Chains A and B, each alone.
Chain A
Amino acid sequence: MAKQRLPAEKRKQSILKATERCLARKGYYNCTTADIAAEAGITEPVLYQHFQDKRDIVSSLRNEALDDISNYVVRRVVKRKTPLEGLHEAAEAIFDYTVRHRSKMRAYYYSIPELGKGGLRRSPVERLHRLHEAVAYMLEEAQRQGAAVDDMDAPDFAWSFISLVEIVYIANALGLNVPFKQKDAYMDLIDRLLSTIATPARLEER
């Protein structure tokens, strides 16, 4: 096949796609820049025109994956009227996005071996903190509106909620199929958890 000269942005995207596939297949340590270049159908020098090194590529990939999933979740959550419905929707959106983009989300998690090297380390922790802040805010909002019981500690409960949400990421990273085939059972657990803090009046309305 004749090699095409692609515009820089397109070339970058094709390298990111190639990295996604390479990471999902080989894991972080075994996927080399040579593998990525081969997968993208280019030479290593061309790859280095666009990225400094493997870390640089992986860092772009994870930022892109993060932006993508957050935008998707927010788009869905804003359509819901109440905070508790919003939390249900957020969990479902994360589930749906992960099912649809399994190799992208795997690649996201597979870049975590860089944890501790600075730079990349911040992003998984920041993602978790942003998620926690948003969930705790929605829980407090639910309390203000009288939809959630007052004696619930919003930041604490937010971590319980998140631990149930995060298993989707983890299961996908580990290549397990269990939750992805049982969406109803999974969402039932989310709803059960949310119903432990819903005020009785709200429950009757539903």
Chain B
Amino acid sequence: MARKYGTRGNRRQQIIEAAMKAFAAKNYDGASVSDIADAAGITKRAIYRYFSTKRELFYAVRNEVYAAIVNNLWSDLPPAKDFNELADALMRNHLRFMLENPEMARIVVNTISEAATREFQENIEALLDERAEEIEGLMQSGIEEGTLDPELDPTFVSWVLVQIFIFLVYMQAYEEDWLIPRGEEAASVLMKPFLASLAPRA
């Protein structure tokens, strides 16, 4: 077999992608380093040149998944006329991405127990805080536009929205029957009553 010598970054990425599929399909315990090596078309030794343990590889996969999900949120957002349209577009973006990458949803769900470790908890808190801050900024403009009730606490509501994003990941990982056939439209159906409930009280 001709061996492919990619650049270092390349090869590392290749291993992470193979590991992502293996961990999603068989979980952490079930996926062996040999499986991952086979899937990536390289030797086990080559994997250990990049990651000293299976756990280290697993953490690299996890970080990659979280970064990919977060980076996708704001990419190619259609122009929105107000906060409601924007929140809807964000949620659709998010759901479309999760539907296209079911293995990522599984990794998120499979790694939630790692939130017990301090390092992960700090990471995820920082990550969610950042998202919540972005949404909070948008909420402020929603309040100024008159689409959102000024009595709402923007910090709290934006935080709740971020949690609903995570819930969607769960629904995707559970292969929820209601969600899958609807595709990204499900995000709008889910969000519509919630956004309506944030309007100023008549």
Which A residues are within 8 Å of any B CB, using their own CB? Answer: 23-30, 106, 109-117, 124-125, 128, 132, 155-157, 159-160, 163-164, 166-167, 170-171, 173-176, 178-179, 182, 185-186, 189, 192-193, 195-197
Contacts and interface: CB of A to CB of B under 8 A. Distances in A.
B74 interface: no
A27 B174 CA distance: 20
B100 to A, nearest CB: 19
Interface in B16-67: 25-30, 55
A121 B148 CA distance: 39
Interface size class of B (residues with CB under 8 A): 35 or more
B28 A110 contact: no
Contacts, number: 128
Nearest to A185: B156
A176 B25 CA distance: 28
Given A26-B117, A27-B113, A27-B115, 8 more contacts: A23-B116, A112-B109, A125-B176, A159-B190, A167-B166, A167-B167, A178-B159, A189-B157
B121 A175 contact: yes
Given A25-B116, A155-B178, A197 B193 contact: yes
A173 B160 contact: no
B178 A159 contact: yes
A173 B26 CA distance: 22
A112 B110 contact: yes
A197 B170 CA distance: 26
**Chain B contact surface mostly:** helix
Contacts of B157: 189
Nearest first, the 6 A-B pairs at minimum CB distance are: A167-B163, A28-B113, A110-B113, A27-B116, A192-B197, A27-B113
B113 A23 contact: yes
B116 A189 contact: no
Contacts of B159: 178-179
B70 interface: no
Which has the most chain B C-beta neighbours within 10 Å: A110, A124, A167, A193? A167
